[in-house]
Amino acid sequence: MRNLDKLIDTVNYLLSLNEGKLNYTKLIKLLYIADRELLNEFGFTITGDTYYSLHNGPILSKLYNLVKKDAIAPQQAEWDNYFYKEGYDLCGDKLNRPVQELSEIEMEKLEEIDRKYKDYSFGQMIDLVHDPEFCPEWEDPGTSNQRISLQDILVKYGKQDIETANEIVEEYKSLEEENEYLNNCCR
């Protein structure tokens, strides 16, 4: 996974805004919304995850696999050091862990999204992302899944033309590669 530490910080931060636990379906939808808003506003996402349409709306695939305990062993073990499920809630054990991987802009976006949808149930979050006015990039794949590309988000949600969307995605990928190189050589 690109940056598991950042995903852990992100989920931990969101859980800390919710007394340490949050319905995991709602959590995934909140992070999807935060990612797509930052992509449209600044050309980057918080999680760097890959998005898919499932019947209950868009998901972040790596996060979804970690929550379901379907990730590869070392990543799952690291994740499980911080989070556990109680029924349909994801809970955090180390909420006072210092946030190291998130920028001020990313924390502000998480706080904004949390405030905006604080009183939404997981069912209301599913209804929200099924709304074509709110989430035009999501299409119901039935019993299958369908990838949602960054270009899909930028064109359908952000109202960008495809050429601009491709340029934004190329720049984003270039920055991701540079960050990965710096993380690998400087750690």
Beta bridge partners of residue 89, listed in sequence order? 23, 86
Instruction: Please classify residue 4 by burial: count the beta carbons closer than 10 Å to its beta carbon, then call 0-12 exposed, 13-18 middle and 19+ buried.
Output: middle
Tell me the pTM: 0.89
- The pLDDT, as a whole number, for residue 185 is 60
Q: What is the DSSP letter of 70?
A: -
User: H/E element holding 4?
Assistant: helix 4-16
* Residue-range domain boundaries for the chain: 4-185
pLDDT tens-digit profile, the chain (187 residues): 458 999 999 999 999 999 999 999 999 999 999 999 999 999 899 999 999 999 999 999 999 999 999 999 999 999 999 999 999 999 997 777 788 889 999 999 999 999 999 999 999 999 999 999 999 999 999 999 999 999 999 998 877 788 887 788 888 777 666 666 555 565 5
Cβ proximity of 39 and 158 under 8 Å: yes
Closest C-alpha among 28, 34, 10, 26 to residue 95: 10
- Other C-beta atoms lying within 10 Å of the C-beta of residue 137: 21
Amino acid at position 100, single letter: Q
